[in-house]
A and B are shown apart, each in its own frame.
Chain A
Amino acid sequence: MSSNSIKLLTGNSHPELAKRVADRLGVELLDMSVFKYSNQETSVIMRESVRDEDVFILQTTCPGEDLNDHLMELLIIAKACKTASARRITAIMPNFPYARQDKKDKSRAPISAKLVANMIQRSGCDHVITMDLHASQIQGFFDVPVDNLYAEPLTLRYIRENFDYKNAVIVSPDAGGAKRATALADRLDLNFALIHKERSRPNEVSRMTLVGDVKDKIAILVDDMADTCGTLCKAADVLMESGAKEVVAIVTHGILSGDACEKVSNSKLSRLVVTDTVPHEDKKKRCPKIDTIDVAPTIAEACRRTHNGESVSFLFSHVMV
């Protein structure tokens, strides 16, 4: 009789998170190597059986040169598990790659998010767990179940514990994030403001106008992703000009690519709070304003519930301690 237990695997994208998830689950990471040959082809060696086991592969998107390597690692690991007769393969992608290339916004633009979804399914994944998808419609790109976890409960707790939140205003830095921000404002029973921006080119921001009142309040900027931080820093300027007492930002995915750290350091933001869906230990050293929320408990609980066939929706509103 086979045991069918949780087997947690990971690539090279975020070993620390994987280790913490494994510790929460009380399992060891599977004994395996993910490496490159000298011709730069990725290879995977597994030294333990996964036959008839419940396999979870944790691989996030780590910004930088190796992003595509990490994606290929995930696909190759999934394929290896599939051919090694795993019972079920779940890809845990805390930060979904290519999530912003999700629509054909101009002629011949690729819908890369759809392609990534297809590739993940083709590699043999039966289930996907992710967090705060840039657009929740990406779930529809998959034919397999996708659990889109929310960082919102974690964010709520952080705001309650760290700020004088009664005197705060939740601000969305763009119209697209208004829904996320209003949901948060409602839960905290706070006021809400919005910054309208006009974007001329990707990774660049032009003009901004504030809608709402932030005078003498703590402005909490909320977004799903901080990439180059151009938006956040400009938004902080606008908010300070509008008389905010303090500006902080809470984002789920702290991608912080390019010179984001320096931008944040020199900006009017007093704090940037990110979750560790993306590794950023080195960036914290460069920018002391960054603070981290640990998502490992949420992910571990999602794994456990998925494995045991329990409902995951509890995690949409509650924080694991």
Chain B
Amino acid sequence: MVRNIVVLGGSSHPELAHMICQQLGIPNGRITLSKFAVGETRVEIQDSVRGKDVFVIQSGCGRVNDHLIELLITISACKTASAKRVTAVLPHFPYSRQSDIPYNKTGAPLAKPSKQGSKDFTFESRPVTPGPHPEQHGPAFTHGGLERELSRLAIERSNDGGVNGIAGTNGRNPNASIPGTPLRRTNTMESLNGLANGSGRASAMGGSANGFGSDYAPTRANTGYKQWVAQAGTLVADLLTCAGADHIITMDLHDPQYQGFFDIPVDNLYGRPLLQRWIRYNIPDYQNAVIVSPDAGGAKRATAIADALGIEFALIHKERRPTRITERQNATMMLVGELRGKVAILVDDMADTSNTITRAAKLLKTKGGATKVYALVTHGVFSGDAIERINASALDKVICTNTVPQDEHRRWCPKLQVLPVHDVFAEAIRRVHHGESISVLFRNE
């Protein structure tokens, strides 16, 4: 029984909030979350929070923006209702992967653009995604050559009607181009319409990832401007602080640097002990297994587990240099390390579209000769067609925590096993509330 504490659960993950409250031995904070007819989020807090230590639990999943704004409104409501301290508990932190540029690792866009434009792939081209593109322009774009190159491009464009096969460079209002700019701008409306009708917005989320209309093809930055991708990560950090959060508790942030975006304390809990424990008790002869990181970015996370368990480690490296012409569209994956005849345990912080882990699993089985492949991830977002992909993949088992609701995923994916995290969060909340150290939670077994 913990006194003077109110734990409010957001609508993203009510079960987790309920389990945390049970663990703490307190009743759920009474809160009504709904929407007005217009679509504005409505928050009503029934319990008094005056002078209380308030924890709001909201995970970044499902309709991320709705849940984020609901969290912000709840925090702000508690703050204006004289709460002593408001702590935002975000088991899975929304927008945590957008903190780095370019955002092209596993976060496949909801939609894949059309294949148009693939004919002008250069040696350095990557598969087309609406993410930032590598600049195609070589040394021609040095100072002074720019003007010439621009005018040349402008002529080319007007001749063949659009480099990338976008429906015309500019269908309307030919007088509207800004003076001084040699190029006409492409029509944003068309790509927006393509987005709107192609993806069906929210409703299509569970469906195919092939949402964009065919008229959506990202234009190359032929003004010599490298595409600018928003850094929503810092924005979310700012928004939480400006709503009035005094403290953040989260788990396995994609970038540890993310903590630095905040001016308030951030407790980044680790899912690692849970995963380690699972390996210890569920993989027979785990001492002979090999921990595999599916990409270089996660190597540190994977080696930490390998070290703690005293077992071997391997890494999958994405070869970006095209070795043969036919291979250049897909980055080739290379396995670094030996695991023939052994059990491979893939470790990552997050499985979103699950593209990385399924491809890694295939590689481990076919080229690496692994007998079994397990994937252990902290955040099982499983968006798009991730579940179908996992079901069809070479993965034998996928283990994730319930930082994100997994009931629906479990129903469709027999390979999925879920580890509960409520006790970790409950303990963190208890310790934060009493002002005890939480570094004991970071200690490995």
Chain A positions within 8 Å of B, measured between CB atoms, are 3, 5, 10, 12, 15, 19, 22-23, 26-49, 61, 63-69, 71-72, 75-77, 79-80, 83-84, 97-98, 100-101, 104, 107-112, 114-115, 118-119, 121-123, 202-203, 227-228, 255, 257-258
Q: Are A45 and B227 in touch, CB under 8 angstroms?
A: yes
Q: Are B109 and A35 in touch, CB under 8 angstroms?
A: yes
| B205 interface contact, C-beta 8 A | yes
A169 to chain B, nearest CB (A): 29
Q: Are B223 and A49 in touch, CB under 8 angstroms?
A: yes
Chosen A-B contacts, 8 in total, with CB atoms closer than 8 Å, are A27-B176, A33-B188, A43-B103, A48-B225, A66-B39, A66-B201, A66-B202, A123-B239
In the complex, residue of chain B having the shortest beta-carbon distance to the beta carbon of A5: B178
| B1 interface contact, C-beta 8 A | no
Closest A-B pairs by Cβ, 7 of them? A110-B77, A67-B39, A38-B384, A80-B230, A38-B383, A44-B230, A108-B81
Q: Are A47 and B176 in touch, CB under 8 angstroms?
A: no
Residues of chain A within 8 A (CB-CB) of B193 are 15
Q: Are A28 and B177 in touch, CB under 8 angstroms?
A: yes
Q: Which of B176, B191, B192 has the most CB of A within 10 A?
A: B192
> What's the Cα separation between A115 and B69 when bound, in Å?
10
> What's the Cα separation between A123 and B241 when bound, in Å?
12
In the complex, residue of chain A having the shortest beta-carbon distance to the beta carbon of B230: A80
Residues of chain B within 8 A (CB-CB) of A97 are 40
| B231 interface contact, C-beta 8 A | yes
Q: Are A110 and B43 in touch, CB under 8 angstroms?
A: yes
> What's the Cα separation between A174 and B107 when bound, in Å?
50
From B60-68, B339-347, B429-437, give the one contacting chain A: B60-68
- Given A38-B352, A45-B131, A67-B38, decide whether A33 and B234 contact each other with a Cβ distance below 8 A: no
In the complex, residue of chain A having the shortest beta-carbon distance to the beta carbon of B64: A40
| B327 interface contact, C-beta 8 A | no
| B228 interface contact, C-beta 8 A | yes
- Given A15-B189, A35-B111, A115-B76, decide whether A79 and B231 contact each other with a Cβ distance below 8 A: yes
> What's the Cα separation between A115 and B70 when bound, in Å?
11
B237 to chain A, nearest CB (A): 10
> What's the Cα separation between A152 and B43 when bound, in Å?
33
Residue in A33, A72, A79, A255 whose CB lies within 8 Å of B195: A33
A140 to chain B, nearest CB (A): 16
| B353 interface contact, C-beta 8 A | yes
Q: Are B235 and A31 in touch, CB under 8 angstroms?
A: no
Q: Are A63 and B38 in touch, CB under 8 angstroms?
A: yes
- Given A28-B178, A47-B221, decide whether A38 and B110 contact each other with a Cβ distance below 8 A: yes
In the complex, residue of chain B having the shortest beta-carbon distance to the beta carbon of A30: B188
Instruction: Report B261-297 CB contacts with A as 1/0, cut-off 8 Å.
Output: 0000000000000000000000000000000000000
> What's the Cα separation between A23 and B62 when bound, in Å?
37
Q: Are B242 and A36 in touch, CB under 8 angstroms?
A: no
- Given A23-B173, A43-B98, decide whether A71 and B65 contact each other with a Cβ distance below 8 A: yes
- Given A26-B176, A43-B232, A258-B37, decide whether A48 and B77 contact each other with a Cβ distance below 8 A: no
Chain B positions within 8 Å of A, measured between CB atoms, are 36-46, 48-49, 60-66, 68-69, 72-74, 76-78, 80-81, 94-95, 97-98, 103, 107-111, 130-132, 170, 173, 175-178, 180, 184-189, 191-193, 195-196, 199, 201-202, 205, 209, 212, 216, 218-219, 221, 223, 225, 227-232, 234-235, 238-239, 242-243, 352-353, 381, 383-384
- Given A72-B69, A98-B40, decide whether A108 and B219 contact each other with a Cβ distance below 8 A: no
Residues of chain B within 8 A (CB-CB) of A40 are 62-65, 202, 205, 383
Q: A35-B109, A41-B97, A43-B232 given; name 5 further pairs at CB < 8 Å.
A: A23-B176, A36-B205, A38-B383, A42-B232, A108-B80
Residues of chain B within 8 A (CB-CB) of A15 are 189, 192-193, 196
In the complex, residue of chain B having the shortest beta-carbon distance to the beta carbon of A9: B188
> What's the Cα separation between A107 and B191 when bound, in Å?
45
- Given A40-B205, A67-B40, decide whether A119 and B239 contact each other with a Cβ distance below 8 A: yes
- Given A42-B65, A111-B80, decide whether A64 and B39 contact each other with a Cβ distance below 8 A: yes
In the complex, residue of chain B having the shortest beta-carbon distance to the beta carbon of A73: B65
Residues of chain B within 8 A (CB-CB) of A255 are 38
Residues of chain B within 8 A (CB-CB) of A26 are 175-176
A220 to chain B, nearest CB (A): 24
In the complex, residue of chain B having the shortest beta-carbon distance to the beta carbon of A44: B230
A4 to chain B, nearest CB (A): 12
- Given A5-B178, A37-B107, A65-B202, decide whether A110 and B36 contact each other with a Cβ distance below 8 A: no
Q: Are A69 and B65 in touch, CB under 8 angstroms?
A: yes
Residues of chain A within 8 A (CB-CB) of B231 are 79-80, 83
Q: Are B185 and A30 in touch, CB under 8 angstroms?
A: yes
Q: Are A47 and B219 in touch, CB under 8 angstroms?
A: yes
- Given A66-B201, A76-B230, A80-B229, decide whether A111 and B76 contact each other with a Cβ distance below 8 A: yes
B167 to chain A, nearest CB (A): 14
Q: Are B232 and A46 in touch, CB under 8 angstroms?
A: no
Q: Are B107 and A39 in touch, CB under 8 angstroms?
A: yes
Q: Are B228 and A41 in touch, CB under 8 angstroms?
A: no
Q: Which of B46, B193, B231 has the most CB of A within 10 A?
A: B231
A51 to chain B, nearest CB (A): 9
Residues of chain B within 8 A (CB-CB) of A202 are 36
Q: Are B239 and A12 in touch, CB under 8 angstroms?
A: no
In the complex, residue of chain B having the shortest beta-carbon distance to the beta carbon of A78: B235
Q: Are A77 and B230 in touch, CB under 8 angstroms?
A: yes
Q: Are A28 and B230 in touch, CB under 8 angstroms?
A: no
Q: Are A228 and B37 in touch, CB under 8 angstroms?
A: yes
> What's the Cα separation between A54 and B36 when bound, in Å?
35
Residue in A3, A80, A112 whose CB lies within 8 Å of B228: A80
Q: Are A38 and B232 in touch, CB under 8 angstroms?
A: no
> What's the Cα separation between A26 and B46 when bound, in Å?
52
> What's the Cα separation between A75 and B231 when bound, in Å?
11
Residue in B48, B132, B232 whose CB lies within 8 Å of A41: B232
B74 to chain A, nearest CB (A): 7
> What's the Cα separation between A227 and B38 when bound, in Å?
7
> What's the Cα separation between A31 and B181 when bound, in Å?
14
Residues of chain B within 8 A (CB-CB) of A23 are 173, 176
Residues of chain A within 8 A (CB-CB) of B232 are 41-44, 76, 79
Q: Are B95 and A41 in touch, CB under 8 angstroms?
A: yes
A99 to chain B, nearest CB (A): 9
A108 to chain B, nearest CB (A): 4
> What's the Cα separation between A83 and B103 when bound, in Å?
16
Q: Which of A35, A107, A112, A123 has the most CB of B within 10 A?
A: A35
